[in-house]
Each structure stands twice: as structure tokens, then as C-alpha cells.
Amino acid sequence: MSRTPLDTVEHATATPDVELPWAELGLKKDEYERVVEILGRRPTGAELAMYSVMWSEHCSYKSSKVHLRQFGEKAPQSDAMLVGIGENAGVVDVGQGYAVTFKVESHNHPSYVEPYQGAATGVGGIVRDIIAMGARPVAVVDPLRFGAADHPDTKRVLPGVVAGIGGYGNCLGLPNIGGEVVFDACYQGNPLVNAGAIGVMRHEDIHLAKASGAGNKVILYGARTGGDGIGGASILASETFDDAKPSKRPAVQVGDPFQEKLLIECTLEAFAEKLVVGIQDLGAAGLSCATSELASNGSGGMRVTLDDVPLRDSTLSPEEILMSESQERMCAVVEPAKVDRFLEICDKWDVIATVIGEVTDGDRLEIYWHGGKIVDVDPRTVAHDGPVYERPYARPDWQDALQADDANKLPRPATGEELRDQVLKLVSSPNQASKKWITSQYDHFVQGNTVLAQPEDSGIIRIDEETGLGVAIATDGNGRYTKLDPYHGAQLALSEAYRNVATTGAKPLAVSDCLNFGSPEDPAVMWQFAEAIRGLADACQQLGTPVTGGNVSLYNQTGEAAIHPTPVVAVLGVIDDVARRTPVAFREEGQLLYLLGDTREEFGGSAWSQVIHDHLGGLPPKVDLERERLLAEILISASRDGMIDAAHDLSDGGLIQAVVESALLGDKGARLVVPDGLDAFTFLFSESAGRAVVAVPRSEELRFTDMCGARGLPVTRIGVVDGDTVDVQGEFALPLTELRTAHEETIPALFA
């Protein structure tokens, strides 16, 4: 790539035979030829840099676009939707004039290369997406997946990732209220570090990424631009890891949360004074993305002088400046009369701000360097008209054998003592054990509005102190289920997140997703992806929860070994009064325990099959979306009307896992009775979906059971909150002290 200012548009036109390193920048030969066709000449080095990062898999969604369209085509009608797919983050109406924006994204590959900075900048990037919509960020969540818990490399990656998330989020003063931590050998070379954020604003404060109004100024503000992160999230996340390739360490961005905090306050003050016409954060693809997207989404063109970009490294070439993914930067479009005030606010917050260009009345994005024009493109061809691939996909030939390997045939415990032993193994296994050692490194309660946080079923944040209005968020995904059946596995991820929100008393409103898969060049992986999208779109349509945006992360594999297909689904809900939320913990002795929903012999992909037999096979639990909707309505009504004091959804580990967690959190035991028609094993370990366990005050028993009966929801009394043991009558008893040791010591023993 040229490192001189001589490769101008004029020079490129006059030197058509000059070779450019398109392959080194991740472009295919036909993609490079398409760039030449669009421009009618060879690109300059700067133009090539822009097209290469913006046409990368991570930025352009070139392998996934054809399937993602279903989220729009099948979108349910929703009065709550204010801003949908296509902006920095989706926005929904939560009532009382408030709007909430939320999104989940991935920072997987950077976090494997450099765990601390990869995870930290993942948090920073998603928070800037929230700011760019006009909202004040109020909380973050982090769904995480790592390799085998006892593998040496997991001990390298996990502590760094956790420290990066905690370090960045805590410094920003944002509570971390939710997420997951999952271990599986399939993620050994490709941990999944997904980050989500929530922001709150008034309806009238929504901002969009567009550059409109000829003569308006383009202002770059925030940190100086450096050499870190060049091609980081864009190119690094768009190829498969290979041990033979050189280190990608220089491509990982470096974060500064204190600079980001200043950026947040500076931006919100500028919004409050109505100084901003359009805004875009600088994340993946840096200035290439910000300039091309602002220009293509506006009503004119844009002219930028790259010499005016504040640099940390004066030796950077224009190509490197355009590709840099240095953190804590944003681009604002401001009317000329308001520029001085905008710059005053930036100076007040000690934020560097520079006018680097202006909106033009043309339709071109023009960028200058040392007086020469180095970019002259239609911005839409960079930002939106990248290649679209209809990748071949086919159901893998091993899928039938995998599904035929039925987990229901695995040996089961024959005695109460064996049941007791397997319960202890389950609750102490890395996936089912307490994650307190991890989550305690995050601040849950900063800002004073956190109502529920880990390990609750969903996090809840109060957004209006006077009325108690709040929002809930839950993230879920099960790669084992999705490996067995991608269509239904994705629906189970949505169902669990939907159920988790409802269990705390909030009404599910909308969805964001982070779709983590292997190489799209593998037809089996593309089939998994296509099926998961189809399943998720169908389920969102039926549940009435539109997808507001999200992220696709492909090439999550090492060599030929892909991760389990892992769609992570975030569901946002609203609760009218956070005082009426329902926690997980059992709180009062004598309260009655009821099981809601149907329990069947469903063990495919279950925690029991993994922990006891190291087995993956069969079919995942059946999906009944109408049952999920009914269960949610019952849980929300019961919470609002004070009929239940505790509730916990049933998912990984089944009923016994849920009861143990509720008992330990409340330090109250439970006596359980196996219902007629069920054996103890199925009762305890089944992972049938559409179920929850609730604790009902005796005074509310009749009202609650009548409501369930009238609505047609199966409800079974299974026990009582009592004592200091979990006692399955006729089978075994486990003291809470023994359960606590088993549940809470596993993760510290591995990582402390």
C-alpha cells in the first residue's frame, strides 16, 4: 500500500496498472474487480483501505444479508418500535415519554488475541452505539462463552476478559446487570465475548446517523487516532483463526474508559442543547465507516480533510488513519452557527474536537490529504452496496446420526443415593455452578437504579424514580440445543430469554441478537445459520417481539473445527412498577411451591447428559411458543397482583437446578414431592421448555391456582419452602451447607 500522498485520484487514473495489495486486506479477486468497476478506474490506496474494511464480513454482512432480511419480512406489528434495524441500535417506546435503546454485539476474535483489551473495547464500542442514538447508557450485560473450564488456555482468556469487562464498565460507572458464562470445549480457540448495553432517553431526543444540510460541519471528537486497532474488529473478525498465521495482537484496539466517560457527558450535553444534526460512533472500520455511513444516510455528499485528524502517531499513512479503530471517538454533524458552542462543550469536558470536513450538496465522499484528493467515491457503494453472497448450504451428513443418538437412552440413576450424587455433580459442574467469583468483579449497583442483577433471571433497571417505571433484559443461548436442531435451538434461546424477562414480572417487548457461527464458506455452517435465522424470525413473529438490531459473528472456528452454532438472544421488557418485580430467592418458610407447565422426558442437549455422560445427541426440548406466551402472561399478572413472592424459570439443569439456586439465594430449604405420573429422575432433571417454579403465599394459593386453571396453564403443587435442606421426599435430602459448598467453590478453585 502506498505510504505517500502521491496516490491521488488523478494519479490512480493515470496509472491503471499499479498493483495494490487487495488480498492482504481481505478482499477476494472478484471483489477487487468490482471496486474497479464501480470507480471506473483502479482505486487509490486510501479507497482500497475503505472498501476492504467496509466490505469485510464483520461490517458488510455479505454472507448473512440474504437470510437476515427475514427479520424485516416477518417482523410483527409493534406499537413499541421507534427505530429498527439499520441504525446503531434499536429503540423502543416503554411508556411515559421514555424510549429505550439496546443492542448486543460481539468482540470474539480480539478477546482471544488480547483478552483484557478485547473485552474492554467490546464494552466501550457497544456503549458508544447507545450514545449515538441520543441516549444515556444505564447498564451493560455480557454473555460469555469459553473453552473447557479446566483447559490451561481458558485460564489465560477468562480472567483477562472478566477483568476487561469489569475494568471498563466499572470505570464508566455502568452497572453490569446480566449475561451468562458457559464453558464448552468447542469454544476452546474461539471464546465468545458478546457485550450488550441499554440506554434511556425521551422520545424527542432520538438521534440518527446521517449527514444532512449542505455546509454543515463534520466534527471528529474524542481520543486521538493511533495505530492500534487497524483492521481490528473489521478484518480480524472476518477470517478463521489458524495457528500458522502471525499474531494478530497489533490489530486489537486499546481502550481508555475515562476518556469514554468524558465522551459520554460531552455528547449528552451537546444533545441537550440541540447542537447535533447527525452522529456516528467510530467503531469497526473507524473513519471509513463513520464518513461513508453518515454521507450515504444523509441528503448530500461530504468533503473531509484528513490532515486535520488529531493523531497519536504522526507517521500514520492516510490509509492507516482511515482504517484505524482507535477507541473513544465519535463524528458529529453540526450547523456552522453552532460549531463554536459544540467546541466549547468539548473543551469543557477536556475532549479533543476538530472540524475535519463539511456536508456538500453533491453525492460524493471526497477525502483530501496534503492537498491531493485521495478518495472520490459514491459513499453508498462503500457503506451499503458491498458484495452479497448466497453461500451454498446443506444439511450436514452427520446431522441424522447426531439426532438419532438419543440422550433418553443414557443410563439413569436407579436409587435415591444415586440421584443425590448426580444432583451434587450437576450443581457443582462449571456451567451450573455459581458464577459469583466472576460477577462480583462487576459493579451491579452503581447509579443506584439497579433493581435486579445477576444471578436473577433478568436484570432490571429503574428509569423513573417517581413512578417506578423500569426495564428488564435477559440474554440466553444454548449452543448444544442449536447443534442438535438449529431451527428449534434458536427458538429455545428466544423462549428462554422471553421467559426470564417475564419471570421477573416484566412484559417482553423486543429482541436484539448476536449470532455466533463458524465459517460461512462451510455449507454445513451456512445451513445451521440459515435454519437458526428462520427459526428466530418465525418465533419473533409469533411472540410479537420484533428484532430491533444485532450482530453477526462468523468465522468462529480454528482450522476445520467450528464452534457450536450459538445464537445469543437478548429480550428487553418493561415493568410499570419495579417495586412489584419478582426475585428468584425463596423468602418465607411455609410458602407453597408450584410447578407451571408440562414436564416430559426431554434430555437431548441437557446439562444432565453433559455432566454425567459427556454426551451430546438426540433432539432438544420441544418448543411451544403459545405456551411460552401464556406462561409469561400468568407470571406477569401474578407478579403485578402480588400472588407470588419468588419465581425461577426452568432451563439448564431442570427443576432441581432452579430449586437449589432459589434455596441458596434465600437461604431457605425446600421439601419436594414427586408428582403423580412422573418418576423422580424426570421430575428433577428434565429440561422441558415453557416451565417455571413459583413460591406462593398460602393466602394467595386459591387465587393463583384459579387464575392458572381459568387460563389453561398446567399447575402442580410440588412442595413447600421449609427448613435448611432440599428434601426430595422418599429419595434424598441435601443440607444447604453441602449444596452451598458444591455450588460456590467450583469456579474459584479453577480461576482464583
Q: Which residues are catalytic?
A: 58, 107
Q: Would you tell me how many other CB atoms lie within 10 Å of the CB of residue 39? A: 19
List beta partners, residue 136: 200
Report the residue count for the chain. Answer: 752
**DSSP for 285-335, written as a single string:** THHHHHHHHHHHHSSSEEEEEGGGS-BS-TT--HHHHHH---SSEEEEEE-
List beta partners, residue 718: none
Residue type, 564: H
* C-beta separation of 684 from 728 below 8 A: yes
Q: Nearest CA to 197 among 133, 247, 255, 249?
A: 133
* C-beta separation of 720 from 671 below 8 A: yes
User: What is the C-alpha to C-alpha distance for residues 654 and 509, in angstroms, rounded to an integer?
Assistant: 26
Q: From residue 408, give the alpha-carbon distance in Å to each of 9, 72, 399, 411, 423.
A: 66, 38, 17, 8, 18
H-only helix segments in 8-69: 9-14, 29-39, 45-54, 57-60, 65-68
In our burial notation (b when 16+ CB lie closer than 10 A, e otherwise), range 294-333 reads bbbbbebbbbbbbeebebeeeebbbbbbbbbbbbbbbbbb
SS3 353: strand
User: What is the C-alpha to C-alpha distance for residues 169 and 257, in angstroms, rounded to an integer?
Assistant: 8
Straight-line distance from the first to the last Cα atom of the chain, in angstroms, rounded to the nearest whole number: 46
Q: Which H or E run contains 702?
A: helix 701-711
Residue type, 381: T
Q: Would you tell me how many other CB atoms lie within 10 Å of the CB of residue 681? A: 20
At how many degrees (to 10) do helices 29-39 and 45-54 cross? Answer: 120
Residues 602, 605, 610, CA angle at the centre, nearest 5°? 115
Q: Would you tell me how many other CB atoms lie within 10 Å of the CB of residue 98? A: 18
* C-beta separation of 670 from 633 below 8 A: no
